[in-house]
Chains A and B, each alone.
Chain A
Amino acid sequence: MKLIVSAAPHAHSGDSVRRNMLLVIAALMPAYAVSVAAFGWGAIITAAISIVACVGFEWLIAKFILKQTPTIGDCSAILTGLLLAFNLPCNLSWWIVVIGALVAIGVGKMTFGGLGQNPFNPALVGRVFLLISFPVQMTTWPRPLGFQTQYLDAITAATPLAHMKQIMKGDSLLIDQLPSLWDSFVGVIGGSLGEVCAIALLIGGLGLIATRVITWHIPVSILATMAIFAWLTTPTGMCGHEYVLYTLLTGGAILGAFFMATDYVTSPMTNCGKLIFGVCIGLIVMVIRTWGAYPEGMSFAILIMNACVPLLNKIRPKRFGESKK
């Protein structure tokens, strides 16, 4: 009989990279379903192009440029593609989506050596590249009018965040034009594919915590920081809790906090590091939203803090038996 000899441990939890990626994809599905219901074909096509392009570029780059065995089986490129699509308007031209995918996978991930090596969240690298290169297309969102097949009437809507920015600057007349809080919660507000429905994202995000794919530290610290910041800077004409809820429910706050900032590769290892990471993201988002040139700062905030992760990883976990000083 041939016996296998290897060092302990001989058991494994059964966890795998693929399982984690698939669970995150599954957690994005409720929000995606709402998105399809709100935008129609645009949501389906944009996501499909983005996913196919991301997987395709990863395969091509790994095979022909890096000469590695492609590892598309781990499903991480599918997740990157889906997250990129979540950050795009649904009526974006297909070739812009493809460029976004190329930058996300090519520049954001494969230049650093592939999965696990990239310092920045690839989907956000793609999105920010597109936002700077195609500012008009990236900030023109169709209205979520229900299942649509075309957007020829070119009805585009400014997002609630753009309104809020004006309100911050003293234009209190615009308060009436904000969507109702309920609309923001259940998802009939303008915005990128993945931003329309806070509750669907929240369900998925809580599912990720429940299945222990992510821990609570990053999302809670981001959202709590944003909430406190908003409470303290409530503009005249609005009451505090209303402004806090608008802050959390509009834009990419929930998508970013649960799905983008928690990316394993680009977030800190220790719980203490995760809390600092989250608080800093929350602060940067609010600074950009309140005083910056862009109405939304989630992508920038996460990318800035991604750069600080190696530093945050210097924080050691508490060792067993370490005396409290």
Chain B
Amino acid sequence: MNTFKIGGVHPQDNKRYSAHQQIVTCPLPEKAIIPLIQHIGAPAQPIVEKGEKVRVGQLIAKAGGFVSANIHAPFSGTITKIDTTVDAWGARVPAIFMDVEGDLWEEDIDRTTAVVRESQMEPKEIIDRITAAGIVGLGGACFPTHVKLLPPPGKKAEMLIINGVECEPYLTCDHQLMLEHGEEIIIGIQLLMRALGIKRAVIGIEKNKPDAIARMQALCSRILGVSVIPLNMKYPQGGEKQLIDACIGRQVPSGALPIEVGAVVDNVATVYAVYEAVQKRKPLISRVITITGKSVAKPGNYEVRFGTPLADVVALAGGIPEDTGKIIGGGPMMGRAMNSLDMPANKRVSGLLFLPEKESRRIEPENCIRCGKCVSACPMGLEPYLLSRQSELQMWDEMKQHSVMDCIECGCCQFTCPSHRPLLDYVRMGKAKVGGILRARAAAAKVAAEAAAAKNNQ
């Protein structure tokens, strides 16, 4: 077995460009823009004012709700304004602008590279530190990590699953992080296990990273309850539901969260951030991103503080290649095409991929030949050809009946389509529409129920 059961595709992994490149720290910029939405959920609320001096690691915006995350100053300097900016995904979001002056850190942060192994912390204290540090899932979804550590009543976590799969082609940041900071990741895993009160954790790593598998296996051989599961390569194995299926053979039901089958999933980069937050008191102010592409001069893995203009990081990798036709934030399967590099780095962007002009254009679609390859490729067992047609015809109810809300937007259908049909474009549009209708219906039902309850009380 050792992979998920339904569907999946095998794109070329193209990791050779940036694989095994040592993590390079990106120099500080002169000015920085820190977006206040770098996570799923409500925007963070700024707690600093224009003209205020801040230090590295100082809290500058508080989580705007339970599903939200704190944001800390990645630089020391002066706040120049609080306004809006366009983030890497092209959305206009509130942001804090600052001038960077020196590199003055908060005093309680341990900046040494020494590995801190011992911890006697209580679960609650660990979770509090993770919450305070503003840690979100660095695998791409940016779901606040502390929320996953507090299972809803009646649900019990049994297994921690660590995502070291990195199934997106080209990206190598998680791979390199495991090679360079494997020990810290293992400590982070133990901290999370204690926070959740569980005894077992597995690290899922795809077999195209044999050195990472060997390194992590060597590190966890002494540690009870933690083991590595080498997985056969198949995209989208890094998808939460697919990873749980691949590692422990349980399938999360439609609409449910991993905790339903007793699993909590965290990415290796997230676990590293947990280690830093708990053992070093360092909040989440930077991450490793991969700058890569066939024509990039110095492809590699760069540690970037949030707020650094992406153009600065690209300059470090040798600038934008001549033949670039498309710049993608993330990998080629799920990443977003960007229209400039003026945006700042944030918690979401795991890499920048430069595709040559000739690989950037879509091929003209032909008629659907009903080959069924999209059905075989869909890792959720859906019928993309049907959903896309229903979306074209605005058949929203039928789309719901055909489980469109289960779509994880992995792109396997469109990747595999011999007719080059924009299947996911249509499915994604339909999913957004159906999701909106369902929320509106739920809201209307709630209002009606409240009205009925009020009537009964009279």
Contact = CB atoms under 8 A, between A and B. Distances in A.
Contact of A316 (B11, B339, B383): B383
A35 B363 CA distance: 38
B372 interface: yes
Contacts of A4: 325-326, 337, 357, 360-361
B209 interface: no
Interface stretch (B123-131, B146-154, B212-220, B419-427): B419-427
B325 A116 contact: no
A34 to B, nearest CB: 28
Contact of B367 (A16, A114, A320): A114
Contacts of B332: 8-11
Interface string B395-407: 0000000110010
B382 interface: yes
A3 interface: yes
B334 A8 contact: yes
B366 A9 contact: no
B351 interface: no
Contacts of B381: 316-320, 322
B367 A116 contact: yes
A116 B339 contact: no
B339 A10 contact: no
Nearest to A309: B370
- Identify the interface centre among B245, B320, B359, B370: most chain A CB within 10 Å of its CB: B370
Given A4-B361, A13-B11, A264-B371, A319 B380 contact: yes
Contact of A321 (B11, B241, B355, B425): B241
A321 B416 CA distance: 23
Interface string A266-287: 0111110000000000000000
B321 to A, nearest CB: 10
A5 B339 contact: yes
Nearest to B361: A4
A319 B254 contact: yes
Given A3-B326, A4-B326, A116-B367, A13 B241 contact: no
B427 to A, nearest CB: 11
A12 B369 contact: no
Given A3-B338, A269-B383, A10 B369 contact: no
B418 interface: yes
Contacts of B370: 116, 264-265, 267, 269
A10 B327 CA distance: 10
Contacts of A270: 372, 375, 383
Given A10-B355, A12-B363, A320 B379 contact: yes
A276 to B, nearest CB: 14
B9 interface: yes
Please provide the 10 A-B residue pairs with the shortest distance between their CB atoms, ordered closest to farther.
A9-B411, A116-B367, A269-B372, A264-B371, A11-B332, A321-B251, A319-B381, A15-B418, A10-B332, A5-B337
14 contacts: A5-B338, A7-B428, A9-B334, A10-B355, A11-B332, A17-B366, A20-B369, A20-B371, A265-B369, A271-B376, A317-B375, A317-B383, A319-B254, A320-B245
Given A7-B425, A116-B370, 19 more contacts: A4-B360, A7-B424, A8-B332, A10-B332, A10-B335, A10-B355, A10-B359, A17-B419, A74-B366, A267-B370, A269-B383, A316-B383, A317-B6, A319-B382, A320-B254, A320-B379, A321-B252, A321-B254, A322-B253
